[in-house]
Amino acid sequence: MEKSSCIHFCFISYLVLFIVVGSWYRSTNSSLPNSTLQTPWSTSKNRIFSNSKASSVLETQAQTSIDHSAEAPHHPLDPLTMQEINKVRTILSSYEPFSFTFPTIHTVQLDEPDKVQVLKWSKGDALLPRKAQVLALLNGQSHVLTVDLDSSSITSHAINSSSGYPMLSVDDILAASKVPFSNAEFNKSIAARGVPSSDLICLPPSAGWFGPNEEGKRVVKVLCYSKESTPNFYMRPIEGLVMTVDLDTLEVLKFSDTGREIPIPKSTDTDYRYTAQTKEPQMEPLNPISIEQPKGPSFRVEDGHIVKWANWVFHLKADHRAGLVISRVMVRDSENGELRDVMYKGFASEFFVPYMDLDESWYFKSYMDAGEYGLGMSALPLVPLNDCPRHSYYMDGIFATPDGNPFVQPNMICLFERYAGDISWRHSEGLLTDFQIREARPKVTLVARMAASVGNYDYIFDWEFQTDGLINVKVGLSGMLMVKGSPYHQAPNQDAMSGPLISENLIGVVHDHFVTFHLDMDIDGANNSFVNVNLVKERSLPGESPRKSYLKAKRKIAKTEKDAQIKLKLYDPSEFHMINPSKRSRLGNPTGYKIVPGGTAASLLDHDDPPQLRSAFTNNQIWVTPYNRSEQWAGGLLTYQSRGDDTLAVWSERDHSIENKDIVLWYTLGFHHIPCQEDFPVMPTVTSGFELKPVNFFESNPILRAAPAFETDLPVCRSSASS
């Protein structure tokens, strides 16, 4: 680039930056209405939003939501629109069983058409019939309804006969959080601790299920914290004070107060906001960094949900429960340019988080974050330039409130291209030959991201697409620890505690995180098989070779569901392939994809432990089941207070045939978390994941003909001073 062009580009860049920063500064100092980005969540598992001084310097950078009131669906898998949710409410209002009392709506989402119909549908065809699935609660009973939007009728209505209830509603959480303040025992205990009621925040975590004494009632456990002098009230627990509350009657069923001798931890150094930091970081300052795209991003989004980038096409949408759903994933063949099926649908099905403390105020903490709270319902607006880079595309979620009205969850998904200096492929020659070759290709990827703030924890979900056909799925953990108050400033015996001290009077309780993914792989079509490619050690025969042992890959096709129940073992390694036995490469290999586990962990709880009974889907890292459109949630459709009688583990015990059929791969990613001081007061992100990698899917390296990058491709503005 000529010098004058470079100077012009730099000037324009700085001018744009000046305008953006100026606009942001004015917006942070103006009076904006509180409804600008409101959602119905004023609380979640361990979080309460208020209009107090606990604001963030980054809060107003989130983009304002667009008007969705006139949107219409374009694809059979498009989520329900605002108009459709309004229509669902109108139909329910005139439905005779609800004529006297309108139920509490817990979920309204698209009842997806049959998979066969969706696979046959093409753009330009008439849209398939639109239906909604509704989970509602009335008089203590869970109602599952199907609403036909075309005929304006309810086509199915069942009262759930198995255990479990729909996820907590906003009304449930708000009502339960107020119960302690009218309870005499609670007020007496708080007064004895010297905590003003104005400094209290009380939160209703789920109660789990621990036997028949807890059946027949929807209950929560209410815990309290002090928010004096800090927005990070998680670090100031009022230890040992817990109430069991009936959600329907708002009656205190049990009151426990065992921690009066434990001091409330101080607020010192707990405020994590940028504006609250009084000391400079002890590191060299970083200059601003950004990915520049002078021609704009390479991806495009058509009809609101169809993403097209490089050789990929897929459907992307927000979901009330799963958060982010990827569907109809296709990749273009590198030889003939045809689009080929890879995955019909992928999403995080359940998130299990058990804590390892037996105290009265801790034993029940074994959360199922997707089924009890909703990952989509917990997704707040992403922060531009910090959550997502420049040139990102943002997507809203459209969900329903407890009274059935639609609302917008703004900017909960972002889509962007990533270049981190990684290499797609390379090779050099010249040391021992006459060839002087330097060939390398930069790795540019496409990322779909969602972050759910489920109480104290923040979960970042990335689906990353590579041009070589690989899909990299990552989960990041950040936010705040769930901590336990302690009388100690220094631990006399850490082995006697449920976790290490992370600050004065604070224990970071040991816990786990397990994320189970639903992966409906359709490799070149729906009928697939699951293959265990086991690496087996063999001994060489006497005199056969100087080698004594070697490894051999032995393939075994799983015939039934039990054949595909896999526990990962370091010293019994395998690759796990999903193949299409009817589609072969030119060399005769079945086309396929393999799942490549990253760093993971397995649940070590006893199988008869109540939390593990409910989350038995974590007993294996891999499961394979026949496709069933009603079996999408690993913890069951109704997870709250379930007994584990409708889970992936139960379905798999049927041991149905899975060879050369439409099958679903389930994978559980795990983390063991032993907290440390660096996790206080907010955690640096910890990330793990897995890959879906092509195996004999392409005839050869699919990015062999990809173009390298050249200096002339991008404007380069160098600093006038260098060291």
Q: Model confidence over 568-610: pLDDT tens digits?
A: 999 999 999 999 999 999 999 999 999 999 989 999 999 999 9
Q: Token pair 């060879």 is at which residue?
A: 659
Position 706, amino acid: A
Residue partners of 564: CB distance under 8 A and separation at least 6: 530, 532, 558, 622, 623, 624, 658
Positions of E strands within 113-258: 131-138, 141-148, 153-159, 200-203, 219-226, 237-246, 252-257
User: Counting beta carbons within 10 angstroms of the beta carbon of residue 270, is it exposed (0 to 12), middle (13 to 18) or buried (19 or more)?
Assistant: buried
Range in 38-52, 303-317, 371-385 the model is least confident about? 38-52
Cis ω for the linkage preceding 681 (within 30 of 0): yes
What is the Cβ-side half-sphere exposure of residue 470, based on CA atoms within 13 angstroms? 16
What is the Cβ-side half-sphere exposure of residue 617, based on CA atoms within 13 angstroms? 35
Q: Hey, what domains does the chain have and what are their CATH numbers?
A: 82-159 (3.10.450.40), 170-276 (3.10.450.40), 315-422+444-525+558-566+579-698 (2.70.98.20)
Mean pLDDT of the chain: 89
Per the CB < 8 A criterion, the answer to whether 383 and 274 are in contact is: no
Residue 535 has pLDDT above 70, yes or no: yes
pLDDT of the residue at 31: 31
Positions of E strands within 370-436: 393-400, 406-429
Whole-number Å distance between alpha carbons of 452 and 359:
28
Positions of E strands within 198-251: 200-203, 219-226, 237-246
Range in 206-215, 256-265, 461-470, 640-649 the model is least confident about? 206-215
Spell out a b/e string for 633-672, using b for 16 or more CB atoms within 10 Å of the CB, else e: bbbbbbbbbbbbebbbbebbeeeeebbeebbbbbbbbbbe
- What token pair was written down for 471? 């899909």
Confidence of residue 36 (pLDDT cuts 50, 70, 90): very low
Whole-number Å distance between alpha carbons of 630 and 6:
57
Confidence of residue 716 (pLDDT cuts 50, 70, 90): low
- The model's pLDDT over 208-224, given as tens digits with 9 standing for 90+, comes to 999 887 778 999 999 99
Query: Residue 309 CB: number of other CB atoms within 10 A?
Result: 19
Per the CB < 8 A criterion, the answer to whether 3 and 718 are in contact is: no
Is 457 annotated in the active site?
yes
Q: Would residue 337 be called left, alpha or beta, if left means φ above 0 and alpha means ψ between -120 and 50 degrees?
A: left
Residue 48 has pLDDT above 60, yes or no: no
- The model's pLDDT over 7-34, given as tens digits with 9 standing for 90+, comes to 444 433 433 333 333 333 333 333 333 3
Confidence of residue 430 (pLDDT cuts 50, 70, 90): confident
- Counting residues of the chain whose pLDDT is more than 70, the rounded percentage is 90
Query: Residue 710 CB: number of other CB atoms within 10 A?
Result: 7
pLDDT of the residue at 53: 46
Whole-number Å distance between alpha carbons of 125 and 119:
12
Considering the candidates 272, 355, 373, 457, report the single residue annotated as catalytic. 457
What is the Cβ-side half-sphere exposure of residue 328, based on CA atoms within 13 angstroms? 23
Is 225 annotated in the active site?
no
Q: Would residue 396 be called left, alpha or beta, if left means φ above 0 and alpha means ψ between -120 and 50 degrees?
A: beta
Confidence of residue 709 (pLDDT cuts 50, 70, 90): confident
pLDDT of the residue at 491: 73
Per the CB < 8 A criterion, the answer to whether 524 and 591 are in contact is: yes
Residue 509 has pLDDT above 90, yes or no: yes
Integer CA distances (angstroms), 326 to 78, 125, 347, 419, 516, in order: 11, 22, 7, 22, 15
Considering the candidates 271, 357, 369, 524, report the single residue annotated as catalytic. 369
- The model's pLDDT over 53-104, given as tens digits with 9 standing for 90+, comes to 446 655 545 455 688 999 999 999 999 999 999 999 999 999 999 989 999 9
Higher per-residue pLDDT: 718 or 102:
102
pLDDT of the residue at 250: 96
